[in-house]
Amino acid sequence: MGSLAITNAKLLTPEGFVQPGTLVTEDGKITAVGQHNAVTVPDGAQIIDAAGKVVAPGFVDIHTHGAAGYDFCDEEPEAFDTICQYQAGGGTTALLGTTSSMPADRLKAAVVRIADAVGRDTGGSAIIGVHVEGPFFVVDWRGCHLPEFVRPPSEAEVDGLLEYAEVIENITMSPEIENGLRTAEHFAQAGATVSCGHSDATSAQLLEAIGRGMGHSTHMYCAMGTIHRDGPNRFPGVVETVLACDDITTELIADGIHVPPLMMALTVRAKGPDRVCLVSDSMRGAGMPDGDYTFGPRDGKMCFVRDGISIMPENTGFASSVIRLNDAVRVMVQQVGLDLETALGMASAVPARIIGWDDRKGSLAAGMDADVVILDDDLAAWRTIVAGQVVYTA
């Protein structure tokens, strides 16, 4: 792969910004990072002059269904590369191909296709695993997943998915569903991050699930139940339990639309930024003109994309999003008021840690994967680098 050096950078290291900074990569790994006068650039290295731009860890999107007209449930051979190349244009260097609710045989086939793409050169973001979102949901909290595709987990289906436990990095499910707790425990024991989502669980149900391995929650506030009532009495639901409990992390679709800035600020204040990651939750309409697009598979829920918003035709809820992670970082800085270092960490170091990839991804330090994004003043990606190779140039 050769050597690459990024010089004259506002460089985000684990200790904070360094400027002017230099970062050196060789054979897909970071070999040196620090003040420019403390780093030696190898002879013959490809040099990128960042001209004072922000150089940050590449973003890790643990929840993205698709983009550019395609979905990770699609069978077309060009689908995954097209999605990954589009996502790299927003600074994402690693992602989990996210499925949606489908019949059991088709879901397993989608998992197999994504598993086969792990480690393959996509020309864009690297696919590092699978996020299985659905079908194990409470029907009334399915969101834009079709009701006929939503079901409780059966032993046979769970066993079939667990055959691919090595690449299933995340699974979203309702803990209160029939066989939900047992299923959460099985996936946690297999090494997956198990996420509460599309759920109206009581606090007691969620806390029991946390005790059995459920450690994350999917798209905070979205398809997520809140206070339960019994006569005059009020009891915490999923929202309150996630906000209050340190043993569960969460994610925000920070498009400024799904969740108002004040509620995003509340989440960060309650959880701390090290327990909140940014996700795109993008669907096939991302990067496409306004129009009608299905969520998930091509026979999934038909949704409308209008003026940068994906919404269900009944106008009852949003249908995934059409953003990339640099858009989410921008919203957290400009609308929520976070400092840039914190917002960048929520798109890189935090998601990498949530899925157990923080020994390879999410920070610019010697020995880490050479996944880097260079951002301009408006936080648009100027260069995106995956394993030491430039995959996107503005």
Q: Which of 150, 168, 167, 353 is nearest to 251 (CA)?
A: 353
Residue span(s) of the chain under CATH 2.30.40.10 come to: 3-52+370-393
Tokens encoding 45: 């290295």
Phi, psi of 359 (to 5 degrees): -85, -5
Structure token pair of residue 232:
């005059």
φ, ψ dihedrals at 262, nearest 5°: -65, -40
Measured between alpha carbons, how far is 102 from 301 in angstroms, rounded to an integer? 11
User: For residue range 22-62, what is the model confidence (pLDDT) as tens digits?
Assistant: 999 999 999 999 999 899 999 999 999 999 999 999 999 99
Distance between CA atoms of residues 185 and 264, nearest Å: 30
* pLDDT one-digit tens code per residue, 204-260: 999 999 999 999 999 999 999 999 999 999 999 999 999 999 999 999 999 999 999
Span(s) in the chain for CATH 3.20.20.140: 59-148+165-177+187-354
Q: What is the pLDDT of residues 275-322, one digit of tens each?
A: 999 999 999 999 999 999 999 999 999 999 999 899 998 888 899 999
- Whether residue 210 contacts residue 247, with contact meaning beta carbons closer than 8 Å, is answered with yes
CA pair distance 225, 236, nearest whole angstrom: 9
At the fourth CATH level, the homologous superfamily of domain 3-52+370-393 is: Urease, subunit C, domain 1 (2.30.40.10)
Fold that domain 59-148+165-177+187-354 belongs to in CATH: TIM Barrel (3.20.20)
What tens digit of pLDDT does each residue of 58-80 get?
A: 999 999 999 999 999 999 999 99
Angle made by CA atoms 298, 88, 317, in degrees to the nearest 5 = 45
